[in-house]
Every structure is written in structure tokens, then in C-alpha cells.
Structure 1
Amino acid sequence: MARRLRPVDIDFTGHAPVRLVFAREISAPPEQVFRALAEDVPGWPRWFSAVKLARPTDGGAGREIRLKGGTWFAETILVAKAPEVYAYRVDSTNAPGARALAEEWRLTPRGSGTLVQWTFAADGTAPFRFVLGLARVGLGRAFRNAVTSLDRRLAGR
């Protein structure tokens, strides 16, 4: 069942009731990482194993994301500032209990590589917030695996 979420702006990622923040340094430069995130949306399933389908919508102003297991998101891009920040909010989803969701990918140069920081910001019912707290370890592992896979892909390995 589709649930319409509360529209939020980029500031939500800094003050959401639930904020899960993960970071990892990779060897690819920020420009390459940004292109993979923001410009090659259909390529996400090749490096983010939880993503089954990713496609741009509304001429690139939005995205449709389908995860393995059946969860889906219709999103609006909030910020696409190359090569520093890529962020989006979820407008509708079938995830129960969600009221507002946004994600921010922040890319910081580190030598010849990039520090990739992912913020998952959410609001929802008490059970939804509780489950997200329990999911922190799994989401962190999924992030690390995805970014490592992206780095290998960008290096041609």
C-alpha cells in the first residue's frame, strides 16, 4: 500500500528524529563517485546489492527505487551539487510506519580519494523508529559493502 510521506527539505538530514550516519574512505575521486550516485541512477543495482531497480523520473528531478524484498520509494532530488552533495527525500513508499525520509550523500576529497558520508534521516511511528534503531548495524554493513563495491567498479576491478 502506498503511503504519502511528509515533504521535507535538506535541513531534515541534520535534525530528523532518527539519523543514521555512516562514512567510509574510498580510492575513487569525488567526481567519479558523484557521477555514479547522481548521473548513473540506473547503475545503482550493479554496486548496491539491496537495490533491485533504480531509475530517474520527472526528467531527472526524481527517482524510483525498488529494493530486494519488495520495498519501493518514489523520491524527489533535493540537492545535486557536483561533486559534493547528492540528497533526496522520499515522497511515497510502501514501508509501514514511515512519515518522512531523506538521505544525503556527502563527498569530501581525501588525498586522491573520497570520504563518502551517508546520512539516512527519518521520522515515523514509535515502532518504525525502534526498528530503524535495530537496523543500524545492518544498514551500516550494507553501506560499507555498497561503497566498497562502487569503489571497485569505478577502479575497473
Structure 2
Amino acid sequence: MKVLKWIFIVIIALFAILIVIGFAMPKETKMTTTEEINLPPAKVFHFVAGFVDRTAWDPWIKADTAVQCTFDIVPGYIGSKYNWDGPVVGKGSMLVDSVVFGSYILNQVSLMPGKSIPEEWMFTPSGNGTLVKWTITMTSGSPFGRLANKAFSGIIQKTMNGGREALKTYLEANGVQLSNLTEIGIEEYPAVEALTISAVVSQQEAAAWYGQSLGKLYPAIEAQNLQPQGAPFALYEGYDPATGKFTMTAGMPVSAGGRNAGEIRLMKYNSFLALKGLHNGPYDELSVSYGKLDNYARENGIELSGAVWEFYLTDPADATNPAQLLTQIAMQLKTK
């Protein structure tokens, strides 16, 4: 009996020691890992927040070859959900709770009903790339929960480090595309009057020249008491492969009554048929959409004239997310 009594006393003492140690430990246990990725913050952010190819790098999912994953993606990221169920990783979900585009993501990870673990991502510009900081925070009010969190933190940290390396490797090998192309088809564009400015430019000069030209067109529209009648556009014609230059026209559809004024010309365009598509995303990925439209034309025997219009449906000043920019591309058909 004395032996049992002493065993009981030792167990109680150890139990008390664990409680004291547990209460002495912080409520929060944080695991953080950082990585430099050679892509801009907007693209790395979009990849992580949008659960793009998540299973290609997620360290827990890669550890379970039998896992089943589903994704419910919401425009604007917040509310998007990622679910998994596997014999090794078990069942759980991740919900995008809040974001600051290009710089911050807060996800809530749920491994059991009624309890979630915050997962945070921070994206900071670093040279030509991004410094990524990934943090998981486990919180417990009980001493044993704090001890358990501490015990598991080493394994979690090691797993996160592996995931961080896999994320970097995947992104730098595959890149990230923010844009997509929708609404492909043939459409007739109506005749239109527009105030315009034209010049022969190179691809490298085009964006800056277009911005300067719009800066001249808006005051001219106001000075002539005209009303805009549609989205601003760019028209590309006469590409010269020898010089890499083309004629570019910056234009704004206007109400009747416009006139020439210096370099500004009133143009009256006839209606035309075009192969069109809606480019959703940044301007620097327009070439991807052009490639898709070129392939569509080739596969469907559509003959193009070489003249291309871009109608800018979104004001860049109003778009905090470049993936929200809308540009309608119209590749003019050959007339018969």
C-alpha cells in the first residue's frame, strides 16, 4: 500500500509540475518562415490567396497521396474556401478571412468544429521580387494545451520550411498569370466619332505615349463642350517588322460636333466586324490573350486584317487589384 501511495504522490507531483510549467508558458505559439521569391508581390499574393495550384506545393497535402481536395473560389478572395479529407492529414478546411491586396492574407484553418487556427501571409517588395512571411499561431488557455502546442511546434515549423521551399521552387519555375480571357466571339462594332491622336511608336514606347495622349484628349473634349460616348480606346495598325514600330491611335468616342485642334483629329470610323475577347487582368499580360485569340482565329479559319482595337472598360485609378482590369480586344476582320 505504501508503494501505491508513493506512486500516487509522484503522479500528483508530476501533474502539478506540468500544470505549473504549462501556465508559465505563453498562450500563443507562433511558427514563422520567410522566403525571397523572384516574382512581384501582386502575383505571389494572387497565387496564395486564390488557392492557385495549392496542392502542387502544400506540404501537408503532398504528404498524403490519397487526400481529396475541393476549392470554392470567390471573386475578391475573401470567403474562398479550401477543403481536404485524407487518411493521413485528416479532415479540415481553410477560409480566406481578410486580405489587403498584394500585401496581406489572413486565413482561418479549421481542424475541428468550433475552433480555428489563424494563418497569416505578408508580402513585401524586395528588389525585383517579394519577401514572403508565413505565420501560423496556435493559442491555448489550458496548461496542457500550451504544452501540446509547444511539443508540436517543431514538427509544424519543419513542415512549413519545406512548404516555403516548395512554394518558391514552383512559382519561379511556373510563374503566375493574373489574367484570363472570356467572351470570345465575332461581333459587329458600330460606327463612331472620336477625338484622336496618332503616332508611330514601338512597343516599349506605347504605354507612356498613350497615357500622355489621353492627358491631352480629356481637356480637348471639355474645351469643345463634348460628351464622352464610350470607353477610351487604342487602335494599332501598320506594324513594320523591320523597325518593330506601328501606328498607334489614342481615342475617345465623343458626341457630335467635335473638330480638329492641332495634333488632335476628329475621326469618323465606319462599323466593322471583329474577333473579340474580354481580357480580365493586368495590361502586361495582354499578349497572353492575344495569343489565345490568334489561335482561335487560326483554328476557325478567321482572316484578320491586322488592325487591332483595345477598349479600356476599367479606370486603372479605380482598380486596387490589377486582376480586376477589363480590356476588350477587337481584332478587325478582313473585308471581302
Q: Are the counterparts in 2 of residues 88 and 104 from structure 1 also a CA contact under 8 Å?
A: yes
1:64-100 CA-to-partner distances (Å, cap 9, x unmatched) read: 332761333234322222210111123x4239xx844
Other-structure match for 1:101? 117
Question: 1:102: Cα distance to partner?
Answer: 0.8
Q: What amino acid sits opposite 2:149 in the alignment?
A: L
1:32 and 1:54 map into 2 onto residues whose CA distance is 23
Question: 1:115: Cα distance to partner?
Answer: 1.4
Other-structure match for 2:166? 149
Is the alpha carbon distance of 1:108 and 1:55 closer, same or farther for their aligned partners in structure 2, counting shifts above 3 Å?
A: farther
Is the alpha carbon distance of 1:76 and 1:130 closer, same or farther for their aligned partners in structure 2, counting shifts above 3 Å?
A: same
Provide the identity percentage: 18
TM-score, length basis structure 2: 0.36
Query: Please, which runs of 5 or more residues in structure 2 have no aligned partner?
Result: 1-25, 62-66, 175-336
Would you say 1:129 and 2:139 are equivalent positions? no
Would you say 1:30 and 2:41 are equivalent positions? yes
List aligned pairs for 1:47-86, cutoff 5 A. Answer: 47-51=57-61, 52=67, 54-57=69-72, 59=74, 61-66=79-84, 69-86=88-105
2:49 and 2:27 map into 1 onto residues whose CA distance is 23
Is the alpha carbon distance of 1:130 and 1:105 closer, same or farther for their aligned partners in structure 2, counting shifts above 3 Å?
A: same
Other-structure match for 2:108? 89
Aligned residues: 139
Within the candidate set 142, 156, 161, 1:139 is matched to: 156
1:87-128 CA-to-partner distances (Å, cap 9, x unmatched) read: 1123x4239xx8441111111111112211112122235434
Q: What amino acid sits opposite 1:144 in the alignment?
A: N
Larger Rg: 2
RMSD: 2.9
Highest RCO, 1 vs 2 (Cα 8 Å, sep ≥ 6): 1
TM-score, length basis structure 1: 0.70
Secondary structure of the residue aligned to 2:138 is strand
1:76 and 1:46 map into 2 onto residues whose CA distance is 19
